[in-house]
Structure 1
Amino acid sequence: MNEETQQQAHAPASARVDAYLERIGATRPARADATALRELQLRHLMTVPFENLSIHLGQDIVLEEEKLVDKIVTDRRGGFCYELNGAFAALLQELGFRVTLLQARVFGDGGRLGIPYDHVALRVGTDDGTGPWLADVGFGDHALHPLELEARTEQDDPSGKFRLREAPQGDLDLLRDGSRQFRLDLRPRVLSDFRAGSWYHRTSPDSHFSRSLICSRRTADGRVTLRGRTLITTVRGERHEAELQDDDEVLAAYRDHFGVALTRPPTVRPPGADRAPAGTPVNTDLR
């Protein structure tokens, strides 16, 4: 850890919040209301990539708020759901929002539900009498705006039409354009509850995160995604794909589209491959 990183790690909470807001290009809201929440979620989605690079770079993933925030703010990285929503929850709490972690199971092929603690989403309370809201910056291509958690009618969003529908045992199914996305358990959770789910997705051969590389970010007019060596850009609904020819093109794509600076391209590591222990430097030159 260099001197700058040490100073940031021991900075007062207000300074760390300011650094996080600078990272996502947002200003400190005057109050913790629905308008501020919507702006923060949108800016987070357009700035911080959804990515699983740590899994294939042999880096440890530690579900602790300070480490998650440092990864996003200091290392200028992204992460997958546990990391992104874990860090976003910490930011919202510091800004005065009331945040509860919720666990969800993602619907897969054939409508089959994934493992418990498959996904983490956020229940957010505001001080303006609206909500509560379902906020989520960790589900990849998803709703741009927070959704009204107690509404059962269709909710329009730039990414589609969303609806929350009653499910067995008091759960809720989230649908996007009629297709089920995940089943939400409304009981409060804490970050450590998701360790087993995070471990599964990092190590199981049945997890798509362990079998492929993904780095993706919302843009002003669509989305940009690097899947392995395939660069996918979607602009106003029109999709384009380009195969990157060499390591230099891959590194440039990570840098130019996602702000992730690497010295070598990540490659898919077989599940169970040895990983660097926590705190071990990895040759990625992240800035």
Structure 2
Amino acid sequence: MSTPTHPSYRWSGEDLDLDAYLARIGFEGDRAPTVATLRRLVYLHTTTIPFENLEIVLGRPVLLDVKSMQDKMVRQRRGGYCYENNALFAAVLERLGFGVIGLGGRIFIGPDNGLLPATHAVLRVATAEDDRAWLCDVGFGSGPMEPIELTPSDGELTIGGWRFRLELGADELGAQVGALHHFSRNGWLNRRTFTMTPQYRIDYEVGSHYVSTSSHSPFTTRPIAQKFHPEVHHLLDGVTLNTQYPDGTGETRDVDRADLPEILSETFDIDLDDADATQLVEQPWPADQRP
């Protein structure tokens, strides 16, 4: 993979406080751009830094420059959604000497929700060891917690107990596309697709602006947070808390709005200051006004 030189095509790894980021996720040891290093980085980022959209609900913009992202996700120990997590991770990989290409994807919430906009970010990563390419997505909220080799395969992947299936092919218009399926309480579901067309930081900014401002985006209507572990996946959607396990079982319960700051802290490792906690609980959400 050739390395672009113009800053517009790069991920601003030079602006990153690499030591602070690695300390945040608990990474120690060899930093060489190898497959083993990549696996460890993906695992630690995915299981340490939560998925969350609270900036939007609190009325603040989502900023994708490296300094803002590391201030939020590293120094403040907060989380982010796909564009934040994967853009920060791309800067980390670039700084360490990996080859990184951004890709765009589409999310599928259920089997019959139709075609949604391409508003998901994933990464195609190359190491210094060989010519293999790897799919990395630390910003989906529910894994996978390892890179997946981008090669045709009909087999099922078990990663940390969770089951995935990667399919590579073409869409109805002939464009090369990949689909990542998850096994859950509803069986096998196609949760996201992605094309091989490169996406750059400016493309991520456009997608992020849409999902953080559009009334059609779920992120503008209610708080959403996720925390993913080898043994359990937690999802907060408004005032509904879902807990799922690798075998497909799980439970769902409604929670009191006043308990959200405590739930965010104890379950998602998101600690809000007093002002943000009060605002989250007391201010109306756009979902409150919808019929």
Please indicate, yes or no, whether the TM-score normalized by the shorter chain is above 0.5: yes
Identify the residue that residue 285 of structure 2 maps to in structure 1. Answer: 269
In structure 2, the residue corresponding to 1:94 is in which secondary structure? helix
Distance in 1 (CA, whole Å) between partners of 2:88 and 2:265 is 22
Structure 1 residues 86 and 258, CA, compared in 2 at 3 Å: closer, same or farther?
A: same
In structure 2, the residue matched to 1:113 is 115
Q: What is the RMSD of the two structures over their aligned residues, measured on CA atoms?
A: 2.6
State the AA in 2 paired with 1:112: G
Alignment of 1:82-231 (within 5 A): 82-109=83-110, 110=112, 112-116=114-118, 118-129=119-130, 131-158=132-159, 159-168=162-171, 169-177=174-182, 179-231=189-241
Distance 1:30 1:206, change over 3 A: closer
Contact 1:212 1:268 in 2 (8 A): no
Deviations 1:229-266 (A, max 9, x none): 3333335544244443362x322221222232222252
Mapped pair 1:244 → 2:255: yes
Matches of 2:68 and 2:40, distance apart in 1: 24
Cα shift at 1:156: 0.7
Q: Taking structure 1 as reference, are residues 72 and 166 closer, same or farther at Cα in structure 2, changes over 3 Å only?
A: same
Bigger drift between 94-103 and 222-231 goes to 222-231
- The answer on whether the counterparts of 2:46 and 2:143 sit within 8 Å (CA) in structure 1 is no
**Deviation digits for residues 166-208 of structure 1 (CA, Å, limit 9, x no counterpart):** 1134321313155333332212221111222212212222212
Contact 2:50 2:268 in 1 (8 A): yes
Query: Aligned pairs, how many?
Result: 259
Q: Is the 8 A contact 2:242 2:251 kept in 1?
A: yes
Which residue of structure 2 lines up, in the alignment, with residue 16 of structure 1? 17
Q: Distance in 2 between the 1:246 and 1:181 partners?
A: 28
Query: How far apart, in 1, do the equivalents of 2:264 and 2:113 lie?
Result: 33
For 2:106, give the aligned amino acid.
Answer: R
Asked if structure 2 preserves the Cα contact closer than 8 Å seen for 1:98 and 1:126, the reply is yes
Q: Which amino acid aligns with 2:175?
A: G
Is residue 2:41 matched to residue 1:36? no
The percentage of aligned residue pairs carrying the same residue is 31
Query: Is 2:241–2:254's contact at 8 Å kept on the other side of the alignment?
Result: yes
- In 1, Cα distance between the equivalents of 2:140 and 2:121? 9
Q: Tell me the distance in 2 between the aligned counterparts of 1:19 and 1:36.
A: 17
Q: Give 3-state SS (helix, strand or coil) of 2:233's partner.
A: strand
State the distance in 1 between where 2:57 and 2:257 align. Answer: 18
The answer for unaligned runs of 5 or more in structure 1 is 1-11, 274-287
Q: CA deviation at 1:15?
A: 8.1
Q: Following the alignment from structure 2 to structure 1, what is the Cα–Cα distance between the partners of residues 16 and 114?
A: 44
Q: CA shift at 1:29, angstroms?
A: 2.7
Find the aligned partners of 2:60 and 2:210 in 1 and give their Cα distance: 15
Q: Which amino acid aligns with 1:78?
A: G
TM-score (norm 1): 0.80
Moved over 6 A (4+): none
**Structure 1 residue matching 2:36: 3-state secondary structure:** helix
